[in-house]
A and B are shown apart, each in its own frame.
Chain A
Amino acid sequence: MKAISYWGVAASMACAVSALGLSPTHAQSADQAQIIERLNTLQAELDALKKQLAETKKQADQSKEIAEKADNRAQKVELATDRVRANSWHMAGYADVGIEFSDGENSDTFTSGKFNPAFHFLYKDLVLFESEFQVTTSNTGETDLDLEYSQLDFLLHDNAVLVAGKFLSPVGQFQERLHPSWINRLTNAPAGFGHGGVQPLSDVGLMLRGGIPVADRLFTYSLAIGNGPRLGHDGVELEGFGRDDNSNKAISGRLAFFPIDNLEIGGSFLYAKITAAEDEEEADDDHDEGLILANEAPDSDNLEDLPLRDYDLWGVDAAFTQGSWDIRAEYLNANLKGLGDADDNHGDVVEPLSWEAWYAQAAYRLSGVSSSAFMQRLEPVVRYGEFITGGDHEAEEELNEKRWNFGLNYWVSPSVVVKSAIEFRNYMAEEREDDTRLQLQLSYGF
């Protein structure tokens, strides 16, 4: 009996133990399922995050690509606009239109004005080519095309530039610096300056020019050697000619310095030999001498045989510019020697000719005077000048004058201006009536 109970105890213990062993096994598998489930969710979340991250990365890459592209494009644009090429160029120039009312011999007229395109090409820092045309409509309606200048500037040294070709004359201030209508503060040139005046307009040849600092001050020089002036139908024509009519070259130039920063004082000169003219009307006459000389254009057939006449010119100029003030003055004096001896009455005497012109001009921009934007753009200007020729009666009658100009300018921009002015011409010849002109002009420098 006892044995059975042992077996019974053993069996029940075995059951209990196995039950013990079984029940944790059961509990364990339930937990695992939970963990697996959680793991799965985590995995899913991780996958989702990974996907999101990939997405974000893709987007970031795309954005980066776009940004890079934009940057490239920006750089390209910047390069395109701001790159300075070895061969660089620039176009500039000016144009103007106007109207003039006159109470003298001239009729009221619209002035078609000028169109002056200018081209500048620069190769490295070595040579600059600059050229300007002048397109105008003549009084009779034709279109005139003139070459104002066409020159190569060799940049030799910081203090020296060699100019070759046709250049504006360095003599005085007006022609080289002030004549473009967006710079000139009145609608026309002073009497004796510009075409038909004393101031040389241009020359063909070579010019050496530059600025040299001495202590704290600047000295400038422009020295030219060129074909020089000729006698033409209107007396001495001070323009650049494509060929010289005599082997003597004209020497001209200007030297200037700045005693103070705002004041420039200059002196100019021109020396030339001018081929004397043969008077065509009387040349056929059976004069013993064969040649009759006059103050007119020479006959082109036998230029080499004609005598040469000395022409010399000198001038001084000054410019003061400070703040709203622009004050200038210029004086020129020229002489053409006569020919023959006035004491022998052979008739082949040519009178000497002389020219003298000067002006003084002051302009004041009202920018500091008023708070009104309109007023600040206004600029009153006054100029007085005289032009006196001697030796040729006709020229004296036609040209000798005293001239007052009063103007009021409205500056739309630094190079766009509307000018209005009144001009009083007082001709010195007794029989000529004085002339008053009202002038309007719009000029645009570009």
Chain B
Amino acid sequence: MTKIRELVPVAIAVAMVSAIGLGASAADTAKAKADPLQFARGAKAWAKNCARCHNMRNAQDNTDEEWHVDVLHMRVRANIPGDVARDIKAFLQASNK
């Protein structure tokens, strides 16, 4: 009985790790399509999500590459869905010039 209990975390770990492989192959096939509405969606999602924990940071604070990394950092920290994060990133990258 205890043995089975000890195996539960192992099973969870194995399941999580094997999910990485699935995720990696899926992420590569998801190609970005030009989307004229993305900017507007991004602006809205930025206003809704990015002042929840701290003050809204200026778009000009970061280059495109920095936003590329940082929006993902925030996506993880704030549990923001990936598609919403991509919209926010597009908005910030278009607004930092």
Contacts and interface: CB of A to CB of B under 8 A. Distances in A.
Interface of A: 81-85, 88-90, 92, 120-122, 124-126, 128, 130, 153-163, 176-178, 182-183, 206, 208-213, 218, 220-222, 225, 247-249, 251, 256, 261, 264, 319, 321, 411, 413-415, 445
A247 B6 contact: yes
Contact of B79 (A84, A221, A321, A415): A221
Interface of B: 6, 9, 12-13, 16-17, 19-20, 22-24, 26-28, 30, 48, 51-58, 62-66, 68-70, 72-73, 75-84, 93
A415 B57 contact: yes
A321 B52 contact: yes
Nearest to B30: A125
B76 A128 contact: yes
Contact of A156 (B9, B20, B70): B20
A155 B54 contact: no
Of the candidates B48, B53, B75, the one having the most CB atoms from chain A within 10 angstroms of its own CB is: B53
A162 B65 contact: no
Contact of A154 (B12, B13, B20, B70): B20
B23 A121 contact: no
A445 B28 CA distance: 34
A122 B82 contact: no
Interface of chain A: mostly helix, strand, loop or mixed: strand
B52 A156 contact: no
Contacts of B13: 206, 225
Chain B interface mostly: helix
A83 B64 contact: yes
A90 B81 CA distance: 21
A221 B56 CA distance: 23
A147 B48 CA distance: 32
A88 B65 contact: yes
A155 B73 contact: no
11 contacts: A83-B65, A85-B65, A92-B70, A120-B69, A120-B72, A155-B72, A162-B19, A177-B78, A210-B79, A213-B81, A225-B9
Contact of B82 (A155, A177, A218, A319): A155
A40 to B, nearest CB: 61
A256 B52 CA distance: 14
A153 B20 contact: no
Nearest to A222: B79
Contacts of A249: 9
A427 B18 CA distance: 51
A157 B79 contact: no
A191 to B, nearest CB: 21
A241 B73 CA distance: 24
B78 to A, nearest CB: 8
Nearest to B20: A154
A124 B51 CA distance: 26
A148 to B, nearest CB: 13
A90 B23 contact: no
Contacts of A160: 19, 23
B65 to A, nearest CB: 5
B82 A414 contact: no
Contacts of A120: 69-70, 72-73
Nearest to A177: B53
A17 B33 CA distance: 96
Contact of A81 (B48, B63, B77, B82): B63
Contacts of A415: 54-55, 57
B82 A158 contact: yes
B70 A211 contact: no
Contact of B65 (A90, A154, A213, A411): A90
A414 B69 contact: no
A209 B68 contact: no
B3 to A, nearest CB: 11
B81 A125 contact: no
B1 to A, nearest CB: 14
B34 to A, nearest CB: 16
A122 B70 CA distance: 9
A129 to B, nearest CB: 10
B79 A154 contact: no
B23 A84 contact: no
B4 to A, nearest CB: 13
B79 A90 contact: no
Given A120-B70, A221-B79, A156 B19 contact: yes
